[in-house]
Amino acid sequence: MKIAFIVDPLDSFNLKKDSTYAIMREAASRGHQLFTMQQDDLAWHKQSVTGHASRLHLTDSTSTNLPSWYRLEAAADTPLEQFDAVLMRKDPPFDMEYIYSTYLLEMAEKRGARVFNRPQAIRDHNEKMAIARFAQFTAPTLVTRRESLLRDFLGEHADIILKPLDGMGGASVFRVRAGDPNVSVIIETLSSQGARTIMAQRYLPEISNGDKRVLVIGGEPVPFCLARIPQPGETRGNLAAGGTGVARELTARDREIAETLGPQLIAAGLLLVGLDVIGDCLTEVNVTSPTCFQEITQQTGFNVAGMLLNKLEKLT
């Protein structure tokens, strides 16, 4: 297959952790041809969506210094339907430029391009808001820009989490308790004085045991999750916020959540999803560029990238 990856700059990859790199390695080991482009390489011209794509060759080096871990051929504008699969692996922020990219990718689909995850599905599943589709699995949650409702929610639950709807890696996530003298400024800052919608969730003390990343590939759960355990004194388990990743077998509840959501996710065109589960509660549905492949594989021996490629090969 010819597989195109829409990614952040290759030199920004952390080879020890990057899931896209793991996917690339697995695809190359199977003899697939790899191509790479960035978000700004997409264009619509003469009724076709093209990518200024370079053929990507992986080397045996895992160093970010020269010689590099990759070699690129000269880039060429290529209609996206000429690839067997296009993997959208650009990290957030999910801003207007990201949305414009999904518009372009959706137009490419109409000409026969096979894009994973589907661009419409990415737009339709905000990674925070998507839990509302599966409310039977969530903790008490409020989405609003109104300070009065947020204060009422805090008064009801006494200990809550506040976060933006477009963040990643634990950025701008606050734990707020009743009586916190900073509650006003936190709400004002996150909501931009009521101009920006945010999310509040009841604090889940089970976070001390880890914020679990449960991967769902082709509608089926990976049998192991990565529990991201917060540093002492920290409420965020995200690896980007200093959490420690520990691979574990799925619990019965993890599997129940994943197996319930799986058929709906794949039907929507979401080949790869990362569910965030704290205790028994679903907290996020990650659809842009889910991670944790390498950590799970290194600690358990289960080839997560291999599972993804198996599914992708059947779909293309």
Active site (catalytic) residues: 128, 163, 213, 228, 236, 276, 284, 286
**Separation of alpha carbons 167 and 290, rounded Å:** 14
Residues in CB range of 70: below 8 A, 6 or more apart: 10, 56, 57, 58, 59
Closest CA to 91 of 186, 20, 193: 20
Give me the residue label for tokens 């917060």. 230
Q: Are 260 and 241 in contact (CB under 8 A)?
A: no
Give me the residue label for tokens 């009586």. 179
In 10 A of CB 191, how many CB atoms?
19
User: What is the C-alpha end-to-end distance of the chain, expressed in Å?
Assistant: 8
Closest CA to 279 of 217, 238, 227: 227
Upstream peptide bond of 117 is cis (omega within 30 degrees of 0):
yes
**Separation of alpha carbons 178 and 176, rounded Å:** 7
Residues in CB range of 108: below 8 A, 6 or more apart: 49, 79, 80, 81, 86, 115
Closest CA to 48 of 108, 97, 96, 91: 108
Closest CA to 59 of 6, 15, 1, 20: 15
Residues in CB range of 297: below 8 A, 6 or more apart: 22, 303, 304, 305
Q: How many residues does the chain have?
A: 316
